[in-house]
């Protein structure tokens, strides 16, 4: 990496540099807040809700509120309190003095970090919004601002975030080693000092103090959380360590938990880091890992629908990837590019090793899939790994009346939107009534092909096809349509299909058992 300007390399130098960085507020949010302040019918909570659209504005308002004597003695912990202390007039004056620009002009690194902070707030809402309803505003603001000490770093030195992201998340290099090389100081030390200087909420400061000065307590909790299959043993170990049990019940821990989840999910949903945080959330909430994963996936998907920003990565996109896929791969050696593969309708990895990996994931008990989309994606990749060039995987709707394309390989993009009415085509009805296989050859093509939907015949114009329906206990849940590029299927091809279908059906059974 080429750096053209000198960077600080001591804690004091970094503090001086980062405190001089002025972060701008999105122009559209600035105007929204100005209109809310001018509207005499708006309450302080409603104005605070508008201001929360911008993490940077939330940070500025909180810091300004905590500069006063009262703020230093009793720091504000929610935007409502901060706005009430500032007063609406001074708030409007402060707003007019802030630099503003379009969100699109932020550095990509800053935009990505702000999205991670907003995703963390969404996770906190989903996980703790009901149990901590009375503290909802405090939890939201503290969660949103936990990564605030890193924002000016990302704005002033965006290349550092990109390198840290690749080396720590992609290459799995130790964070402390990478940070010492890039910054000259541990990043957490820098964050803790800035959080204290900026009078960020106590829960934010406590989270960094835990990571910097009391990591042993966190490690003990993670060790207990790892034994999630035996909740009674977990409780016994907590009963033996009363200080740890009391600490674990503190609501301020939710801020670190939500941000830990959001940062870990930035890489994948199956890496060891996010599993540690999910298990720790389960220990905190007395819930199973399955339940926590379901809630975190739902929160991510909902946030992505609300806050999709073109050009930025949102972890919800990875929920439809193969379960072991990673967004970032090590650049120390050649690795499959999952994103490029997905864009080209190719499975990441190929050959026998890839096939074994996908089948092992399918037959795992209990099922590791959190939703049917993940199961279908893995089934598609397992079939593609057999080496067959073209396939379409369809699933029925809830009423079993329409087949919808859920996975393609080697087919045009238009195939992704394919829908086939089942009742209009007796051949499809037959295949969807019970798991079965139909192998079309030149000898029987005239008998069966006319009974296929016309758009399906257009996608598969050849006389060699396999249609295979799969399911659980007689109920069909998938239909695979495969061809060999116009060539006949060899005995080896048919064996590969049969073995893969067996794995898929075991995966369907395991997944169904998980839902019961």
DSSP-assigned letter for residue 168 = I
Residue 473 has pLDDT above 50, yes or no: yes
Retrieve residue 33's tokens: 């807040």
Give the CA distances from residue 196 to residues 235, 270, 318, 341, 364, in Å, rounded to whole numbers and listed in that order: 34, 34, 35, 45, 47
- Show the 3-state SS of 75-101: CCCCHHHHHHHHCHHHHHHHHHHCCEE
* Mean pLDDT, residues 460-484 taken together: 88
More confident residue, 368 or 250: 250
* Mean pLDDT, residues 215-233 taken together: 90
More confident residue, 80 or 333: 80
Any idea what the Cα angle at residue 411 is, between residues 409 and 414, rounded to 5°? 120
Residue 68 has pLDDT above 70, yes or no: yes
Confidence (pLDDT) at 287: 92
Q: Output b/e per residue, 35-48; b: 16+ Cβ within 10 A.
A: ebbeeeebeeeebb
Q: How far apart are CA 348 and CA 339, in angstroms?
A: 9
Q: Positive or negative, the Cα torsion across 502, 506, 509, 511? A: negative
The per-residue pLDDT for range 351-402, each reduced to its tens digit, is 678 888 889 889 888 888 877 788 888 999 899 888 888 899 998 887 788 8
All domains of the chain, ordered by start, with CATH? 21-103 (no CATH), 106-324 (1.10.3210), 351-515 (3.30.450.40)
Confidence (pLDDT) at 56: 94
Residue 284 has pLDDT above 90, yes or no: yes
Residue 340 has pLDDT above 50, yes or no: no
Confidence (pLDDT) at 344: 38
Residue 484 has pLDDT above 50, yes or no: yes
The per-residue pLDDT for range 150-201, each reduced to its tens digit, is 999 999 998 888 888 888 888 888 888 889 889 999 999 999 999 999 999 9
Strand duo 437-440 + 419-421: pairing = unpaired
Any idea what the Cα angle at residue 178 is, between residues 9 and 314, rounded to 5°? 115
Confidence (pLDDT) at 1: 31
C-alpha neighbours within 13 Å on the C-beta side of residue 136: 11
Residue 342 has pLDDT above 50, yes or no: no
Which residues are 25's β-sheet partners?
100
* Mean pLDDT, residues 265-279 taken together: 89
Q: Is 211 exposed, middle or buried (0-12, 13-18, 19+ CB in 10 A)?
A: middle
Which residues are 391's β-sheet partners?
409, 482
Would you say 511 and 367 are in contact if contact means Cβ atoms under 8 Å apart?
yes
More confident residue, 507 or 335: 507
Give the CA distances from residue 200 to residues 46, 205, 207, 441, in Å, rounded to whole numbers and listed in that order: 22, 7, 11, 70
3-state secondary structure of 440: strand
Would you say 149 and 23 are in contact if contact means Cβ atoms under 8 Å apart?
no
Would you say 23 and 156 are in contact if contact means Cβ atoms under 8 Å apart?
no
The percentage of residues in the chain with a pLDDT greater than 90, rounded to a whole number, is 43
Query: For residue 199, which of 65, 314, 87, 393 has the smallest C-alpha distance?
Result: 65
pLDDT confidence tier of residue 487, bands split at 50, 70 and 90: confident
Would you say 8 and 17 are in contact if contact means Cβ atoms under 8 Å apart?
yes
* Mean pLDDT, residues 481-509 taken together: 88
Provide the CA 226 distance to its chain's centre, in angstroms. Answer: 21
Highest mean pLDDT among 121-125, 384-388, 461-465 belongs to 121-125
3-state secondary structure of 193: helix
Containing 237, the helix (H) or strand (E) segment is helix 231-239
pLDDT confidence tier of residue 332, bands split at 50, 70 and 90: low
Please, which contacts does 1-4 make with residues 24 or more away whose CB atoms are closer than 8 Å? 1/159, 1/163, 3/159
SS3 content of the chain, % helix, strand, coil (to 5): 60, 10, 30
More confident residue, 121 or 357: 121
pLDDT confidence tier of residue 459, bands split at 50, 70 and 90: confident
Would you say 485 and 389 are in contact if contact means Cβ atoms under 8 Å apart?
yes
- Show the 3-state SS of 352-403: HHHHHHHHHHHCCCCCCCCCHHHHHHHHHHHHHCCCCCEEEEEEECCCCCEE
Q: How far apart are CA 446 and CA 463, in angstroms?
A: 9
Would you say 138 and 203 are in contact if contact means Cβ atoms under 8 Å apart?
yes
Confidence (pLDDT) at 351: 65
**What rounded mean pLDDT belongs to the chain?**
86
The per-residue pLDDT for range 131-146, each reduced to its tens digit, is 999 999 999 999 999 9
DSSP-assigned letter for residue 148 = G
* Least trusted range by pLDDT, from 102-111, 246-255, 324-333: 324-333
Alpha carbon dihedral 211, 215, 220, 226, in 10-degree steps, equals 40
Residue 44 has pLDDT above 60, yes or no: yes
pLDDT confidence tier of residue 338, bands split at 50, 70 and 90: very low
Residue-wise DSSP of 447-489 = HHGGGS-HHHHHH--SS-EEEEEEEETTEEEEEEEEE-TTSPP
């Amino acid at each position: 990496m080429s750096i053209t300007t000198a960077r600080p390399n001591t804690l004091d130098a970094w503090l001086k540099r980062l405190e001089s960085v002025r972060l701008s507020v999105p122009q559209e949010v600035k105007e929204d807040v100005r209109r809310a302040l001018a509207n005499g019918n708006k309450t302080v909570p409603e104005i605070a809700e508008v201001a929360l659209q911008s993490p940077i504005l939330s940070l500025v308002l909180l810091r300004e509120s905590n500069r006063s004597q009262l703020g230093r003695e009793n720091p504000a912990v929610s935007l409502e309190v901060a706005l009430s202390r500032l007063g609406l007039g001074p708030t409007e004056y402060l707003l007019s003095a802030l630099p503003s620009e379009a969100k699109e002009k932020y550095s990509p690194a800053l935009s990505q970090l702000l999205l991670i902070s907003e995703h963390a707030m969404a996770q906190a809402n989903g996980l703790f919004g009901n149990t901590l309803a009375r503290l909802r505003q405090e939890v939201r603001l503290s969660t949103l601002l936990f990564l605030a000490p890193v924002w000016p770093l990302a704005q002033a030195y965006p290349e550092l975030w990109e390198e840290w992201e690749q080396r720590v998340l992609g290459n799995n290099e130790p964070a402390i080693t990478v940070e010492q090389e890039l910054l000259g100081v541990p990043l957490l030390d820098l964050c803790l000092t800035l959080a204290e200087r900026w009078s960020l909420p106590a829960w934010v400061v406590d989270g960094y103090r835990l990571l910097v000065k009391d990591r042993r307590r966190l490690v003990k909790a993670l060790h207990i959380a790892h034994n999630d299959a035996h909740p009674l043993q977990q409780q016994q170990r907590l009963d033996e360590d009363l200080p740890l049990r009391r600490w674990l019940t503190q609501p301020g821990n939710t801020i670190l938990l939500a941000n830990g989840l959001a940062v870990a999910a930035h890489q994948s949903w199956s890496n060891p880091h996010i599993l540690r945080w999910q298990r720790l959330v389960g220990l905190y909430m007395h819930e199973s890992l399955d339940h926590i994963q379901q809630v975190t996936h739902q929160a991510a998907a909902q946030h992505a629908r609300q806050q999709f920003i073109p050009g930025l990565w949102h972890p919800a996109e990875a929920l439809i990837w193969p379960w072991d896929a990673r967004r970032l791969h090590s650049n120390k050696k050649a690795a499959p590019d999952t994103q490029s593969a997905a864009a080209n309708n190719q499975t990441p990895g190929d050959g026998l090793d890839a096939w074994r990996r996908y089948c092992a994931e399918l037959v795992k008990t209990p099922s590791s899939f959190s939703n049917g989309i993940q199961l279908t994606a893995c089934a598609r990749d397992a079939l593609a790994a057999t080496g067959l060039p073209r396939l379409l995987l369809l699933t029925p709707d809830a009423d079993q009346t329409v087949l919808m394309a859920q996975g393609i390989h080697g087919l045009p993009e238009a195939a992704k939107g394919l829908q086939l009415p089942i009742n209009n085509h007796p051949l499809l009805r037959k295949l969807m009534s019970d798991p079965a296989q139909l192998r079309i050859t030149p000898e029987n093509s005239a008998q069966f092909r006319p009974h296929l939907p016309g758009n399906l015949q257009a996608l598969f114009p050849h006389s060699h096809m396999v249609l295979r329906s799969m399911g659980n206990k007689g109920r069909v849940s998938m239909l695979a349509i495969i061809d060999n590029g116009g060539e006949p299927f060899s005995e080896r091809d048919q064996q590969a299909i049969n073995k893969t279908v067996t794995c898929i059906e075991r995966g369907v059974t395991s997944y169904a058992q998980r839902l019961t």
